């Protein structure tokens, strides 16, 4: 049975300004000209990261490229990977976060979609480290989509475990919720998207640590802690 | 935890390892990717602590300078004047990252080029913008003057090289032949020929009079990022994404030396002036007259964050300078021969004491990657270009 979440498909230009294709072409130009060591690809959760202070502080020093597009479903990211966005460059790490926009596919369909992208990335970049990120919870209170995301994450953890050069990184759901499983608006302001700074910090600290582990280098980046604006503060108090 | 397990394993603490693995719920295998990780992270903390201490010392020094007045030039010889903050000018105008900055050999003028496809001319004494040279259709990667300062040559991601008459600011020739981004260009000392290096893996020599390519040097396995001619024109040095520095005999195209020690792309190179010979000899420990090295000497800067000094006549790396925290993008010798100045993606420029092989001063230069640095051959000025789209002029004292 065909799985629409795993069949590469570009986004239709319904609104009439061709923005999605323009973005894809801008990414292709970047891939031709630039020499990133880290590439992040996915949906709005990745895209909006480029607008936060954390991008400048944490990712730019690592020579990163952001190929996130808001609204992208797994089949759209798959299409972009198969159509040149990972050609020519030789990054050391690729980060993938997509799936929340496939709200109308089953957990298995979305998982298969993500795994198809992981396979495509592996083919394009045989020696890069791939970090597949777990889906974040959504919706103020427990709801079917949260359960679906949990099921997807569980299956991804199992399927990706033994694949070489591939890491599954899941941020604990508790980071985004208060004690009674209610999502906090100071981290997910609309119960779906991360707030700049606090929300992205929860995503990026473990992500950055994993990236630096994989790259085997420890480039100095500024402290991401919102409380102290320099690592000097952290060390001085030890 | 896995990093701790690896540490215990590689230091032979077998009993502690097994116990730890049991308590921490780890599997008995040691994963290769954690090899040496604990030490690396410990040293990164130590480096950060050292950095904090350095910053505190610097702050005290700066406070003293402010209180007692900046050290006067009389206390230091010109050969020791290095750029000091704050910058004299921060010049805006480019709309994209600046890729290169160079001084005019005679006038109080400097030139910058940028990913915005333009070349800008500035007066570095007044801070005035003079004019723009337009013609390239993609990022301009490098610019260079001939020894008279009458001609400027530029090269671009549009795959062409352009020659400009610096009196009338006109483009007098466009040279075609490279198959990819041309990232570096320079004049032969005679001014009759121009050399270029490209992402197409070649170096080419062009006859200025006709605009034709007269020689192609092949051998590098990847993008050749920079090419520089030795002062007498007999040798060329080039550096590449293939992590090597190569030295070529200009006339015969023979590759005289392949210098392989860097662990990442080599971005920039600079030939040492004669004034640097004594310091380089001191640094490489050859004091006895019989063992004195005459070079030529070459410095290279790499994405592996180090600079390496090479004795080209024997193909040997004399010493390595480490300290930058990110990719090194530009390097230049202080005309006095005692220092090397480098610019990097860690947003700093550094002055290195050659004789003692150590970092002499760190300057927070720009809020983003510093892509280029140049020092005037006899006036006390340094210029830097950055991804932040500005060019800064620094006074040396």
* Facing residue for B40 by CB, picked from A33, A218, A235: A218
DSSP code at position B93: -
Whether the CB-CB separation of A197 and A203 falls below 8 Å is answered with no
pLDDT in the model for residue A1: 76
pLDDT tens digits along B288-327: 556 788 889 999 999 999 999 999 999 999 999 999 999 9
What distance in Å separates residue B49's CA from the closest CA in chain A? Answer: 7
Q: Which residue of A has its CA nearest to B55?
A: A232
* Facing residue for A61 by CB, picked from B51, B55, B345: B345
Mean pLDDT, residues A163-188 = 94
Cβ contacts of B154 within 8 Å, gap of 6 or more: B113, B119, B133, B136, B140, B142, B143, B161, B162, B164, B185
Q: Do B48 and A235 touch (CB under 8 A)?
A: yes
Q: Do B52 and A236 touch (CB under 8 A)?
A: yes
Task: Enter the tokens of residue A179.
Answer: 């004690």
Q: Which pLDDT band, with edges at 50, 70 and 90, does B17 fall under?
A: confident
Task: Enter the tokens of residue B62.
Answer: 């700066």
How many Å apart are CA B300 and CA B212, to the nearest integer? 30
List the one residue out of B164, B77, B163, B88 whose CA is nearest residue B128: B88
Q: Do B325 and A213 touch (CB under 8 A)?
A: no
The distance of Cα A212 from the centroid of its chain, to the nearest Å, equals: 16
Task: Enter the tokens of residue B177.
Answer: 């032949």
| ipTM score of complex | 0.87
Bridge partners (DSSP) of residue B245 are: B239, B259
For chain B, state the CA radius of gyration.
23
pLDDT tens digits along B333-373: 999 999 999 999 999 999 999 999 999 999 999 999 999 99
Q: Do B325 and A216 touch (CB under 8 A)?
A: no
Q: Which residue of A has its CA nearest to B53?
A: A232
pLDDT in the model for residue B285: 83
CB pairs under 8 A between A and B: 38
Q: Do A219 and B326 touch (CB under 8 A)?
A: yes
What distance in Å separates residue B200's CA from the closest CA in chain A? Answer: 13
Q: Which pLDDT band, with edges at 50, 70 and 90, does B286 fall under?
A: low
For chain A, state the CA radius of gyration.
17
Q: Is the pLDDT of residue A225 over 70?
A: no
pLDDT tens digits along B81-129: 999 999 999 999 999 999 999 999 999 999 999 999 999 999 999 999 9
What distance in Å separates residue A21's CA from the closest CA in chain B? Answer: 22
Q: Do B157 and A63 touch (CB under 8 A)?
A: no
pLDDT in the model for residue A229: 40
Tell me the pLDDT of chain B averaged across its residues.
93
Whether the CB-CB separation of A113 and A106 falls below 8 Å is answered with no
Task: Please give the torsion angle defined by the CA atoms of residues B169, B174, B175 and B181, in that order, rounded to the nearest 10 degrees.
Answer: 80
Kindly list the residues from chain A whose CB atom is less than 8 angstroms away from the CB atom of residue B37: 213, 216
Q: Which pLDDT band, with edges at 50, 70 and 90, does B51 fall under?
A: confident
> By percentage, how much of chain A surpasses pLDDT 70?
91
Q: Is the pLDDT of residue B26 over 90?
A: no
pLDDT in the model for residue B152: 98
List the one residue out of B122, B237, B137 whose CA is nearest residue B186: B237
> By percentage, how much of chain B surpasses pLDDT 70?
96
Kindly list the residues from chain A whose CB atom is less than 8 angstroms away from the CB atom of residue B139: 33
- Among B2, B139, B325, B344, pick the best mutation site for testing chain A contact (most A Cβ within 10 A): B325
Q: Do A235 and B49 touch (CB under 8 A)?
A: yes
pLDDT tens digits along B134-155: 999 999 999 999 999 999 999 9
How many Å apart are CA B191 and CA B176, to the nearest integer? 19
Region of residue A124 (left: phi > 0; alpha: psi -120 to 50; beta: else): alpha
Q: Is the pLDDT of residue A220 over 70?
A: no
How many Å apart are CA B151 and CA B136, to the nearest integer? 17
End-to-end Cα distance, chain B = 50
Q: Is the pLDDT of residue B184 over 80?
A: yes
Q: Do B327 and A216 touch (CB under 8 A)?
A: no
């Amino acid at each position: 049975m065909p799985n629409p979440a795993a069949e590469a498909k570009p986004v239709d230009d319904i609104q009439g300004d061709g923005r999605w294709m323009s973005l894809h072409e801008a990414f292709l130009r970047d891939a031709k000209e630039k020499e990133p060591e880290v590439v992040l690809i996915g949906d709005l959760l990745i895209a909006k990261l480029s607008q936060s202070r954390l991008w400048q502080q944490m990712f730019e020093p690592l020579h990163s490229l952001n190929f996130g597009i808001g609204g992208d479903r797994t089949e759209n990211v798959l299409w972009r990977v198969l159509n040149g966005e990972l050609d020519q460059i030789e990054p050391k790490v690729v980060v993938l976060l997509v799936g929340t926009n496939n709200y109308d596919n089953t957990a298995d369909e979305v998982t298969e979609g993500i795994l198809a992208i992981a396979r495509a990335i592996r083919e394009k970049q045989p020696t890069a480290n791939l970090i597949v990120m777990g889906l974040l919870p959504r919706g103020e209170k427990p709801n079917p989509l949260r359960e679906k995301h949990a099921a997807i994450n569980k299956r991804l953890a199992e399927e990706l475990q033994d694949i070489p050069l591939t890491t599954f990184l899941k941020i604990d759901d508790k980071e985004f919720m208060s004690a009674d499983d209610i999502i906090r608006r100071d981290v997910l302001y609309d119960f779906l998207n991360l707030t700049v700074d606090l929300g992205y910090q929860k995503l990026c600290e473990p992500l950055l640590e994993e990236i630096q582990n994989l790259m085997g280098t420890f480039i100095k980046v500024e402290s991401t802690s919102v409380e102290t604006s320099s690592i000097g503060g952290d060390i001085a108090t030890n | 935890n896995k990093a701790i397990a690896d540490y215990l394993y590689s230091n032979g603490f077998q009993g502690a390892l097994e116990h730890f693995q049991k308590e921490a719920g780890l599997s008995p295998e040691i994963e290769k990717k954690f090899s040496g990780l604990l030490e690396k992270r410990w040293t990164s903390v130590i480096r950060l602590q050292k950095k904090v201490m350095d910053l505190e010392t610097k702050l005290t020094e700066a406070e003293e300078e402010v209180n007692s007045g900046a050290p006067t030039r009389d206390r230091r010889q010109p050969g020791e004047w290095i750029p000091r903050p704050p910058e004299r000018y921060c010049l805006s105008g480019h709309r994209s990252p600046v890729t290169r900055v160079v001084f005019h050999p005679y006038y109080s003028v400097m030139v910058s080029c940028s990913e915005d496809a333009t070349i800008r001319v500035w007066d570095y004494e007044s801070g005035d913008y003079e004019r723009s040279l337009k013609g390239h259709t993609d990022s301009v990667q490098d610019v260079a003057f001939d020894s008279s300062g009458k001609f400027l040559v530029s090269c671009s991601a549009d795959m062409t090289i352009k020659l400009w008459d610096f009196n009338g600011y006109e483009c007098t020739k466009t040279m075609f032949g490279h198959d990819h981004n041309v990232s570096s260009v320079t004049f032969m000392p005679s001014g009759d020929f121009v050399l270029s290096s490209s992402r197409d893996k070649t170096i080419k020599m062009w006859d200025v009079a006709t605009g034709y390519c007269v020689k192609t040097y092949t051998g590098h396995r990847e993008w050749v990022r920079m090419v520089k001619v030795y002062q007498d024109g007999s040798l060329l040095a080039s550096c590449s994404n293939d992590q090597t520095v190569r030295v070529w005999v200009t006339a015969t195209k023979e590759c005289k030396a392949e210098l392989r020690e860097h662990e990442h792309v080599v971005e920039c190179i600079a030939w040492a002036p004669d004034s640097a010979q004594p310091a380089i000899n001191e640094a490489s420990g050859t004091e006895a007259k019989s063992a004195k090295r005459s070079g030529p000497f070459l410095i290279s800067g790499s994405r592996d964050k180090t600079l390496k000094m090479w004795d080209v006549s024997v193909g040997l790396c004399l010493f390595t300078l480490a300290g930058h925290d990110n990719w090194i993008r530009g390097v230049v010798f202080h005309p006095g021969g005692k220092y090397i100045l480098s610019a990097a993606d860690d947003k700093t420029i550094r002055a290195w004491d050659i004789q003692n092989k150590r970092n002499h001063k760190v300057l927070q230069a720009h809020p983003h990657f510093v892509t280029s640095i140049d020092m005037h051959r006899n006036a006390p000025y340094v210029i830097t270009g950055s991804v932040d789209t500005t060019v800064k002029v620094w006074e040396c004292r």
